[in-house]
Structure 1
């Protein structure tokens, strides 16, 4: 047989395939390379790779789409471009510290006993993998090996997310002082060229205008900073970021890198892009006025900073992060473990009575609420102390005997008899100067000696870092919960912090910023949850001032805004849904001052509140019989569809706009694609234009779905038909009832046949 070169090559290639042992595909979990000090962190759809260089620098080698093999990725330091950019400056270090020839954003800064104010942390030769999804990597200071930092990585494999933090341990014989302790640094792959554009999405806001989505192009040499210096996450910005690729003719990518900090105090995230296309994101507890002292053998662990990657654009990021938050909420809270237990439909009596709270008025409202289908009845501010307005009584957590002559128990008992749970409002971190508590303990607040104490909202902030303060707050709350069979508490917080320091404290007085959260707020919440495992807790801070992912892992739900005007609330929920699961975001049906002079139908108000947990805050005492009947009907419909709304993935088919304010459409889909709920809103129609076809997403294209549409009445189905999943996604549906309308809305329920 005459064999030419081509034939020989084919035979050799075939023989290689026959005799070469195929390497197995890389499974999910954490794997160490057999030769190099390189670790592959593999989720369902992404891979994150870190490795130690020969000099000991721990750097990121890859973050993006999933790799299939333990490729030979050996960490090396990149070449020096010129003397102004030494290698450590542009190294993708996992923990860039203040020290050495590093001139970019850093994560950790410390002052050592000899006055040195820098570190040089290198791989210590030790890394442990636990249960296949947890990795701890040790770094030691190159000159003081007794100083140990352990980086913590935890994979959420199914949601393509990494949870990061670190612990610093002082093995020296003298104290060290930390002046910065961010949680992590994240490095995006280098941009392909000068024409490649990326945008950073952040969430801005103000009180009553929370979580407004802002998009800014990342520009070389510009550092983007989002932050809160107020002692809590605040309304002005949220500890969240997303960086997305802007598609172009040569790069149609929809890759998104996104993340959030799990911390309920002051925080900061910065993102910087160099002229060479490198982008670094760092973040954690805010460094302004931060301080922490480590005595010999003490350690300090940072809050978590979670981040993930998706190639499915912002809809993918909006799905993965809320799923992750929900997963860890279920992991931590007894009340959330069962997905078949749904967040209750609540009634809050604030708008009906404000501070004019009495047992008689609460009982009257409870008798009206129960037949509507309300499942949780909540008494808001005004039930305690000398509390007839917001200038007195805060901190005196004793039932007002004039308003409740027999205490709260008879009201709670009647609420329970009516088949509802009973809830109560607290603002445990605040105190009015006009209160018995402050008169007895003026030293329990944040203050500086010799300086007038700054009041906001006629109140001061309690220093929960003091053991006696947090024990008082816990004791009063626990006593009231036990004595009155309270099922739910709303934890409010209504002013930013100031004068934050510690007195008679032999450590660093700046520790108050951290202690008041960890040893104060978190301590009380955790202790209440431990003693009352069935207690539901809502986080509130003048609306959406404290709805970070850290608080959601400790509480059941959040109040996203004091602004209950429906069209505003849609935009607020749109932004918050980037990181919060639908079920934890509560919306109320109200007739609040926000929309005086504007006629917004009751149906529209309910449909907006269908976005997550449903509540009513209106003065139902003034409802007509028709309004009560309609409310009961919408509540009944909500209960039928809430398994999808509360457990499904929320997506936005048409995003709300602050400019046009014309239309918004959301879709929530069950994980198995068997059901979906579409909510459509028409704010205005100035040009009498009909709506376009709305193409749905995430359905089973081969299945047929029954479709029901409600608009103005819960008792009448406006449309009912069947369509295939493919047609629903590729052609869509027409919501003709929203044409030429103002404040008109529709509920669409799809069920797979």
Structure 2
């Protein structure tokens, strides 16, 4: 008997089917099917032929491919009994539960006393599919690998795009051609990682940012993941995501994957990106006050480092407020005996040498300037040179002779005593001071991967959120080392990278927009000479790159000339004026025919407004920039186009170019087919163009 189920939204259909009570498989995923599609016929039509040298029938590429079904690829489950004996389950259908936008399938293996469940939901507004798998056993078992429900990889695709990176160089896109065998990526650092963002894009042939079919995935877990993208000998393709293998160190009777977020787009990679942006912002992140605008952020780290001095900090706060900052964040160095990064981590008490009257004088001064106050913690870490370590060396995770990272070790977050201690210390700081914001850092990888560590960190954050529901939390891990939908279900902002280099940020932000909206992506105007790259950049470029996301400053404002301060005030004022609609705008990556131009279009809900940021990352191969096509406009509508920063044109831009001279009114059809003709510019500059529906 054939059984079939389907989930639909206005864009896509997901059809699952099974035969003879075996594990279901995805037999269709793509553009929305007619409501009267015969799913049994579709299931039959999906089957591939059998020929010489093959089995007499093809094993299912199921939601959890089973080795016992002669499956020729990577299985979806690897599990052992407590005595080490491999268990080779063979699951059979038990029950299905269907709701309007959800489906749950349950399968049992009576021989091994195992139960496998796969749950799916589809969000009709964001177009996001969430899929999650659970394994239950009657007696404890050792889990080696459990994939979230397996999706097929499109056979209309020539390549896959995954995300790599490094410290100060996050969100680099890798393009790998499909071929027989496996594209296997595993992050075993114990956190999401700069190196392995848990995402995958599968564009179909001919797809670009703005057109064509594309599929995308994100695994919402902060503890390290494994990705398998495999082409089988028969040509079928499978995509698996789950926790990194062997992360469950103890036998248990229940295991669960994190949610796998999956989406199909008929509007290029942007369709995937908009779905992720909207779903994260509106369905996952829970802001304490959704009515409050995102505040302009000031972080003092690159101004003072560990040299905390109250008069200087007050002066810096005065200047930051004068530039337009609305939140002041006190970074590392306020606690314990913390004069450098070698000591005092976990001694979370205010340093009386630096703050003899506590934090109150600084907080009161900041509040008097109209800014809220935030503070830095790194709760999951400990220095061996700290009072807490000397009293509790057994709290450290890993061996005594482990390699340190930044002179620190990780605390064992699986221990209730550790979580209780951290909750008490952090709570005391939040309770005794009027603090609205935490920058939560994580500055080293773990000595070994352990899922219990991530669950312990989640539990602590959840407990603090419950106790202090009005406090916002930023996820920072040496910059972008812990960015995923799992941590963002508990936090409100990410620090994309420790690099404030505007050129590097331009590219990182552009790629991260496939998954992250403006509302959560922190971007700061750094110092004139970047502390991580040594590059010197003009204030205009630095300011406009920061204005593409949740804007802030992270430099010593005392270094600014009057002209630089004026530019920064103007750009900050522009950002504040527009932040209400850009908060909910879709970030659309544009297909630039000029490789030197990194461009994106932020389009408002309803499409009445947009802003184009066209950053020049290098010298163009030709004399003038090629026209830049826009996207998602109404072809027969007219738009008023205005260059916001026309005064930034250099003397070498000496023609009477129309966009420089004044506003233009152009049709959406023209702007999408031909594109905007931009003025000439130097590298490391940005043109900002506003569009308004006439």
TM-score range, shorter chain: over 0.9
d(CA) in 2 for partners of 1:580, 1:656: 24
Could you say which residue in structure 2 is the equivalent of 1:234? 193
Partners of 1:582 and 1:646 within 8 A in 2: yes
- Which of 334, 346, 349 aligns to 1:398? It is 349
d(CA) in 2 for partners of 1:233, 1:535: 24
- Which of 236, 240, 243 aligns to 1:285? It is 243
> Closer, same or farther in 2 for the Cα pair 1:656/1:555, shift >3 Å?
farther
- Number of residue-to-residue matches in the alignment: 678
Please tell me whether residue 67 in structure 1 is matched to residue 49 in structure 2.
no
d(CA) in 1 for partners of 2:34, 2:242: 32
Cα distance, 1:703 vs structure 2: 3.0
Could you say which residue in structure 2 is the equivalent of 1:509? none
Please tell me whether residue 420 in structure 1 is matched to residue 371 in structure 2.
yes
- SS class of match (2:158): strand
Q: Name whichever of 536-545 and 697-706 sits farther off.
A: 697-706
Please tell me whether residue 725 in structure 1 is matched to residue 668 in structure 2.
yes
Please tell me whether residue 268 in structure 1 is matched to residue 226 in structure 2.
yes
d(CA) in 2 for partners of 1:106, 1:125: 21
Please tell me whether residue 300 in structure 1 is matched to residue 255 in structure 2.
yes
Higher relative contact order at CA 8 Å, sep ≥6: structure 1 or structure 2?
2
d(CA) in 1 for partners of 2:620, 2:24: 58
Please tell me whether residue 199 in structure 1 is matched to residue 142 in structure 2.
no
Q: Name whichever of 466-475 and 97-106 sits farther off.
A: 97-106
> Closer, same or farther in 2 for the Cα pair 1:443/1:39, shift >3 Å?
same
Partners of 2:506 and 2:615 within 8 A in 1: no
What do residues 469-507 of structure 1 show as CA deviations (whole Å, max 9, x unaligned)?
A: 11111221122112111101111111111156xxxxxxx
> Closer, same or farther in 2 for the Cα pair 1:744/1:228, shift >3 Å?
same
Please tell me whether residue 323 in structure 1 is matched to residue 275 in structure 2.
no
- SS class of match (1:672): helix
Cα distance, 1:432 vs structure 2: 0.8
Partners of 1:212 and 1:572 within 8 A in 2: yes
d(CA) in 2 for partners of 1:414, 1:180: 53
d(CA) in 2 for partners of 1:39, 1:563: 47
Could you say which residue in structure 1 is the equivalent of 2:654? none
> Closer, same or farther in 2 for the Cα pair 1:122/1:597, shift >3 Å?
closer
Could you say which residue in structure 2 is the equivalent of 1:39? 5
- Which of 482, 485, 496 aligns to 1:549? It is 485
d(CA) in 2 for partners of 1:690, 1:157: 43
> Closer, same or farther in 2 for the Cα pair 1:350/1:718, shift >3 Å?
farther
Could you say which residue in structure 2 is the equivalent of 1:471? 420
Could you say which residue in structure 2 is the equivalent of 1:745? 686
Q: Name whichever of 110-119 and 548-557 sits farther off.
A: 110-119
Partners of 2:94 and 2:108 within 8 A in 1: no
Could you say which residue in structure 2 is the equivalent of 1:118? 87
d(CA) in 1 for partners of 2:549, 2:32: 33
Partners of 1:98 and 1:109 within 8 A in 2: no
d(CA) in 1 for partners of 2:537, 2:141: 60
d(CA) in 1 for partners of 2:70, 2:684: 59
Partners of 1:350 and 1:380 within 8 A in 2: yes
d(CA) in 1 for partners of 2:425, 2:185: 37
- SS class of match (1:206): coil
Could you say which residue in structure 1 is the equivalent of 2:15? 49
d(CA) in 2 for partners of 1:289, 1:557: 27
Cα distance, 1:301 vs structure 2: 2.0
- SS class of match (2:75): coil
**TM-score for the superposition, normalised by structure 2:** 0.92
RMSD over aligned Cα atoms: 2.6
Unaligned runs of 5+ in 2: 650-658
Cα distance, 1:665 vs structure 2: 1.5
Could you say which residue in structure 1 is the equivalent of 2:62? 93
**TM-score for the superposition, normalised by structure 1:** 0.85
- SS class of match (1:232): coil
Partners of 1:98 and 1:118 within 8 A in 2: no
What do residues 122-162 of structure 1 show as CA deviations (whole Å, max 9, x unaligned)?
A: 343311123x1121111001524x42222111112233321
What do residues 32-83 of structure 1 show as CA deviations (whole Å, max 9, x unaligned)?
A: xxx9521111122111111221243322221111111343333577665466
d(CA) in 1 for partners of 2:532, 2:647: 22
d(CA) in 1 for partners of 2:30, 2:78: 29
Cα distance, 1:418 vs structure 2: 1.3
Partners of 1:322 and 1:577 within 8 A in 2: yes
d(CA) in 2 for partners of 1:625, 1:725: 40
What do residues 79-118 of structure 1 show as CA deviations (whole Å, max 9, x unaligned)?
A: 6546664756x41211224545233112222223676522
Structural mapping, 1:662-701, within 5 Å: 662-685=596-619, 689-701=623-635
Larger Rg: 1
Unaligned runs of 5+ in 1: 1-34, 501-512
> Closer, same or farther in 2 for the Cα pair 1:102/1:733, shift >3 Å?
closer
Q: Name whichever of 46-55 and 206-215 sits farther off.
A: 46-55
Could you say which residue in structure 2 is the equivalent of 1:345? 296
> Closer, same or farther in 2 for the Cα pair 1:308/1:334, shift >3 Å?
same
Please tell me whether residue 480 in structure 1 is matched to residue 429 in structure 2.
yes
d(CA) in 2 for partners of 1:557, 1:306: 19
d(CA) in 2 for partners of 1:46, 1:499: 40
Cα distance, 1:637 vs structure 2: 0.6
- Which of 389, 395, 399 aligns to 1:444? It is 395
> Closer, same or farther in 2 for the Cα pair 1:241/1:546, shift >3 Å?
same
Could you say which residue in structure 2 is the equivalent of 1:10? none
Could you say which residue in structure 1 is the equivalent of 2:574? 637
Could you say which residue in structure 1 is the equivalent of 2:114? 147
Cα distance, 1:211 vs structure 2: 0.7
> Closer, same or farther in 2 for the Cα pair 1:64/1:377, shift >3 Å?
same
Please tell me whether residue 514 in structure 1 is matched to residue 465 in structure 2.
no
- SS class of match (1:177): strand
d(CA) in 2 for partners of 1:597, 1:109: 48
d(CA) in 2 for partners of 1:67, 1:231: 41
> Closer, same or farther in 2 for the Cα pair 1:223/1:455, shift >3 Å?
same
d(CA) in 2 for partners of 1:36, 1:341: 52
- Which of 259, 264, 270 aligns to 1:309? It is 264
d(CA) in 1 for partners of 2:592, 2:406: 35
- Which of 163, 174, 191 aligns to 1:214? It is 174
Partners of 2:145 and 2:242 within 8 A in 1: no
